[in-house]
Amino acid sequence: MECKIGDFACNNIVVALHSGVPKMRTLVFGLGNPILSDDGIGIRVVQEIRNHLPAGKAGKSEIRNQNTEIEFKEGSIGGLSILDEIDGYDRLVIIDSIKTEKGKLGEVYKLEIPTKSCGRNQEIASTHLSNSHGIDFLTAIKLGKKVGYKIPKIIDIYAIEVENNTTFNEKCTGKVEASIPRIAQEIMREII
């Protein structure tokens, strides 16, 4: 399994939920390249979630309730540069594309990074979630922890099976495009 992430800019979008209890700060980060067809699925799903938030919150960058503050970001970054974006959150939800040999288009794989793996003295198993500059996501997390970044204690990765992540096109392929509303609903039910 390989999940390619480029090195481009990020777009911030926040949603927060309020109460007197300390809030869990959650970052929902849609990753991908919006001009490489299906590679932009992570960004498109985050946009879909934002556009279908409850009345009065649609399109907003933050949601607040009693215990949660949710912020949305979109970007084409990876490697060490992701550390600045995720620093200080309690929970990280990454939405990105994946292309496997036998996967079904639009299928969502939920990968959980064990919280013990993010500890300062814990070893992190290798993974193929990497970018074109050769540093994989888990190595970036491990290095970030060592140099003092506040790494989220909970990290969930939603990898969406895609067909074409190399052709220049601002739209996803047909089946992947059609799956965006369903995927957004599935993820929204789990995070909100």
Least confident piece of the model among 1-10, 43-52, 171-180, 181-190: 1-10
pLDDT tens-place string over residues 96-113:
999 999 999 999 999 887
CA distances from 79 to 132, 144, 145 (A): 9, 11, 14
| Confidence (pLDDT) at 74 | 93
| Confidence (pLDDT) at 89 | 95
Q: Is 50 exceeded by the pLDDT of residue 148?
A: yes
At 110, which amino acid appears? Answer: K
**Cα–Cα distance for residue pair 108/183, rounded to 1 Å:** 7
Identify the three-state secondary structure at position 171: coil
How many helices (H) and strands (E) the chain has is answered by 4, 7
Architecture of domain 10-191: 3-Layer(aba) Sandwich (3.40)
Identify the three-state secondary structure at position 38: helix
Domain boundaries, the chain: 10-191
pLDDT tens-place string over residues 124-147:
333 344 444 468 888 889 999 999
**Cα–Cα distance for residue pair 76/37, rounded to 1 Å:** 13
Identify the three-state secondary structure at position 45: helix
Measured from the Cβ of residue 73, the count of other Cβ atoms closer than 10 Å reads: 20
pLDDT > 70: percent of the chain? 71
Once rounded to an integer, what is the mean pLDDT over residues 140-157? 93
Calculate helix-pair angle for 41-51, 174-191, nearest 10 degrees: 60
| Confidence (pLDDT) at 125 | 38
**Cα–Cα distance for residue pair 27/98, rounded to 1 Å:** 20
CB 82 within 8 A of CB 92: no
With tokens 């959650």, the residue in question is 26
| Confidence (pLDDT) at 14 | 46
Prediction pTM value:
0.77
- How large is the greatest C-alpha to C-alpha distance in the chain, in angstroms? 48
